[in-house]
Amino acid sequence: MAEFEESEEEVSTLCDRDIENNVWVDGVVDVAKGLRGVCLLDTMTQEQFIYVIQRTPQARLDLPKVTSNAELLDTLARTPLLPTTTERTPQGTKYVPYYSQFRGQPVKASK
């Protein structure tokens, strides 16, 4: 196996502010040890980003804390939070939360 040298270069990321305890950063975060997790903003399309900020109040609160990107902050300001909706099924009404984008949690319908 080839060995890779660790680089001291700063990696460009959209998560350029406070990354601790933020839904937009997944994985282990320990800034003192150089562990910065994965910035989910770097992995999403514009459509995915809009979908999340329309449906996830905590994502809306955390975004200005984690990024200084003017385009993302402008999109946040122009995109309303949608009301919570329920799905009607033959078995009854189910609330289907949108969690799968954050922390690898699967989407589950409550019974």
Reported as a single tens digit per residue, the pLDDT across 17-42 is 988 888 999 888 787 888 788 999 99
- pLDDT of the residue at 90: 62
Overall domain count for the chain? 1
81 has pLDDT over 60 = yes
Domain-located, residue 67: yes
Q: Return the closest-CA partner of residue 79 out of 107, 46, 103, 102.
A: 46
Residue 19 in any domain: the answer is no
Mean pLDDT value across residues 81-88? 73
pTM of this structure: 0.66
Name the residue range of residue 73's domain: 25-94
pLDDT range class, residue 11, cuts 50, 70, 90:
low
Is 65 among the domain residues?
Answer: yes
